[in-house]
Amino acid sequence: MSVESLQAHSVEAAWTQYDGVDAGPTGLNAFLSVDREGSLAASVSIAAEPHTRNGHAAELAGVPVAVKDNLATLVLPTTCGSRLLEGYVSPYEATAVRKLRDAGAIVIGKTNMDEFAMGSSTENSAFGPTKNPVDRSRVPGGSSGGSAAAVAAGVVRLALGSETGGSVRQPAAFCGIVGVKPTYGRVSRFGLVAYASSLDHVGVFAQNVVDAALGLEIIAGHDPYDATCSSRPVPALRQAAVMADSKLPLAGLVVGRPVEYFTDALDPRIRAHCDASLERLRALGADVRDVSLPHTSLAIPVYYVLAAAEASSNLARYDGVRYGRRGNADGLREMYERTRSGGFGAEVTRRILLGTYVLSAGYYDAYYRRAQTVRALITRDFERVFAEGVQVLFTPTAPTPAFRIGAVSDPYDMYLSDIYTVTANLAGIPAMSQPIGRVDGLPVGGQFMAARFDEATMFKAAAALEDALAREADA
C-alpha cells in the first residue's frame, strides 16, 4: 500500500483518479453523490489562505475525504443507499464530518452503502452495487463498501464509514486497506443515521495504520449532542502508530489468539496468513498466547436478534411524514404502507419484520431478553481475558476473501461474513482490520481488538505488524 502521506493528496488529484475509476457502467460506483465544484473552490481558498486551527496549521488542510451516505452533510444528500431517502438533504451536519472539516479536510462526495447499513457486500444499495477495485467482478464488502473502494482505488486516502457489526473492518479486509472501529463512545454518533443505536459506531478507512490513527484522533472526543459519547480525553493516537526505532518494538506486549476464531469456518489459506502474522508478532517481541472466548459461537444469533430489534424501532420514523419520499394515498394508514413498502428494499424489510417479531409480546423473553443476557456473557469473555493481562487480541477479520457479485444469495450465508467482527460491536471494544497478505490475488485482513478505550495499544501493535510485513515484501 501507498507510503505517501495522507496530506500529500489533493482535491484535484482526487478528481483525476475519480474520473478514471468511478464513473460509467464499468466504473466502481463507489460514490452516490459528489461535489466537484464546491470541493475545487474550497481547495483553492484553503491554498490561498492556509487553514489553521488553534494557531497551528490544520492537520488535514486541503485533504480530500469521502463520507458514507448515512452521515449527515450539509451540502450533499444523505440517502443511506435507500429509495426512501433519495434526494434527502440534512439540515445539520454529523459531528465526525464537522471535525474533519474543522481540521481542513474537504468532503468530495458521499459513498455507496448497503441500504441503511444492512448488509455485508454493498449489494443491498438501492443504487446498484459497488465493485471491488482489486477485482471488479467481486464485492467490496459492506456495508461501507463505497468508502472502502474509494480509498482502495486511491480517489481519497481517508474516508468515514460506520459499523454496527463489522461494516468498516470487513470491507477494509476485502479491499486491502486499513479500517478502524473505535470504542463505543469514543466518537460521536450525532448525525449518523441510526440503525441499531447500542451497536452503531463511526469508523475510518485509510491506506495505512498511521493515517487511520490520525483520522480517528481528529474525529474522536466528547460531544454534547450525543449522550453516549464519552468525555474521556483522546490520547495521541497518531503518535501511538509511529514506530519506535527498536528491533523489538512489541517487547513484552501480550497478544491473545482466541481459539474460537480459528475453526473450520475459516478458509485455511486465511488461517495460514494469520499464523504467519502471529509469528511476526512473536519476532517483534510479543508474548503470543492462546486464549478462550467461550461464548463466541452465539455472537451471530445474538447480533441478528438485537440489531433487528433496534432497527425495527429506529426505522419507524420513516413514515412519509417527516423524511424523504411519500407514497401517494388517500388515507394516513395507506400512505404509511405505500411509503414503507415502496421505499424499503428486501433486506431492510426482513430486518424490520424480524425485529418486530422478537420484540412482540410473548416472544420478548424468549428472544430479545435472552439475547441481551448472552450479549453480557460475550462482553464478560473479553473483560476476563483483558483482566488476565492480555493487551490485544489477533484474529482473522472475515472467514473468506471477497466473493463474486451475486454469489451469496442466502441472507444467512451473508450474515456469516460477520462472525469475527460482530463480537467487538456487542462488547463495545475497539477493533481494526489491516492487510496481511493475499489469496489468489485477493486481499486478506487481520484483526486486532483491544480493551475499551485502549485504541493506542491496538495502533502500536498494528503499526509494528504493518512495518514488518512491508519489510518482508521488500526483501
Q: Which residues are catalytic?
A: 68, 143, 167
The piece of 34-42, 76-84, 162-170, 285-293 that touches ligand GLN (CB under 6 A) is 162-170
Nearer to ligand GLN, 269 or 350 (CB): 350
Closest residue by Cα to residue 303 from 383, 199, 380: 199
Query: Residue 31: in which H helix or E strand, if any?
Result: strand 31-34
Residue closest to ligand GLN (Cβ): 167
Look at residue 247 and give its three-state secondary structure: coil
427: contact with ligand GLN by CB under 6 A: no
106: contact with ligand GLN by CB under 6 A: no
User: Which residue in the set 29, 79, 95, 164 belongs to the binding site for ligand GLN (CB under 6 A)?
Assistant: 164
143: contact with ligand GLN by CB under 6 A: yes
Query: If you search the block for the grid coordinates 449489494, which residue do you land on?
Result: 123
| Longest Cα separation, the chain | 73
For 389: left if phi > 0, alpha if psi spans -120 to 50, otherwise beta; the answer is: left
Q: What x/- string results for residues 190 through 209 when contact with ligand GLN is judged by CB under 6 A? A: -----x--------------
User: Which residue in the set 111, 112, 167, 188 belongs to the binding site for ligand GLN (CB under 6 A)?
Assistant: 167
- Phi, psi of 187, rounded to the nearest 5 degrees: -120, 135
260: contact with ligand GLN by CB under 6 A: no
Using CA of residue 128, residue 130, residue 131, residue 137, what is the dihedral sign? negative
Cα distances (angstroms) measured from residue 265 to each of 5, 413, 449, 464 = 37, 12, 20, 28
147: contact with ligand GLN by CB under 6 A: no
408: contact with ligand GLN by CB under 6 A: no
Cβ at position 219, least distance to ligand GLN in Å: 17
Query: If you search the block for the grid coordinates 493487551, which residue do you land on?
Result: 391
141: contact with ligand GLN by CB under 6 A: no
Q: Quote the CA–CA distance of 414 and 324 in Å, as a whole number.
A: 28
Task: Find all residues with CB under 8 Å of 251, minimum gap 6, and list them.
Answer: 284, 285, 286
Nearer to ligand GLN, 139 or 284 (CB): 139
Residues from 111 through 140 that contact ligand GLN (CB under 6 A): 117-120
Nearer to ligand GLN, 18 or 116 (CB): 116
Grid cell for residue 296: 463466541
Nearer to ligand GLN, 117 or 463 (CB): 117
Nearer to ligand GLN, 68 or 295 (CB): 68
Nearer to ligand GLN, 163 or 455 (CB): 163
Cα distances (angstroms) measured from residue 109 to each of 2, 213, 443 = 22, 22, 25
Residue ranges in contact with ligand GLN by CB under 6 A: 117-120, 143, 163-167, 195, 307, 418
